[in-house]
Amino acid sequence: MSETLRVVLVDDSRTVLAQLESLLDETEGVELVATAVDGADAIRAVDSAKPDLVLLDLVMPGIDGLSALRVLQANYPDLRVAVLSSAGGAATRAEEAFRLGAVQVLGKPIEPDLIRSLFEREREHKLEASKGSWDPVS
């Protein structure tokens, strides 16, 4: 598979961002195109970087993940977004994220194998979609 998956990482924790960046660096065919620390930054990053996938934390200061997801899905209905959620109130937020169009909800702490699987699945999705005329954020 030769298609590179372009990813934006969004989390208010620098530690989590570093973990995700490390996983992304170790995964062939995946390119980090931007990072963001809150929902407003995420929206700006997607507007400028045009990613295939956004990995979005749900609980952040300012514009939270669910609010950012609403904006991203309104502006880019075909954009693929996976969300990260910690344990507190996770079920309710996860249900809302799926309702808003998230492709997957992942728990914290981060499980590297699940993140790698997400990247691989999304690369496969991009490859299949590219056989048609799919463009996630044009």
Q: For the chain, list the domains and their CATH numbers.
A: 5-130 (3.40.50.2300)
As to burial, measured by CB atoms within 10 angstroms (0-12 exposed, 13-18 middle, 19+ buried), residue 73 is middle
Going residue by residue through the chain, which has 138 residues, state the pLDDT in tens, using 9 for 90 and above: 458 999 999 999 999 999 999 999 999 999 999 999 999 999 999 999 999 999 999 989 999 999 999 999 999 999 999 999 876 556 788 888 999 999 999 988 889 999 999 999 999 999 888 776 545 554
Which among 36, 29, 28, 73 has a CA at the least distance from the CA of 55?
36
> pTM for the complete prediction?
0.89
Which among 131, 109, 115, 121 has a CA at the least distance from the CA of 52?
121
85 with 94: CB under 8 angstroms?
A: yes
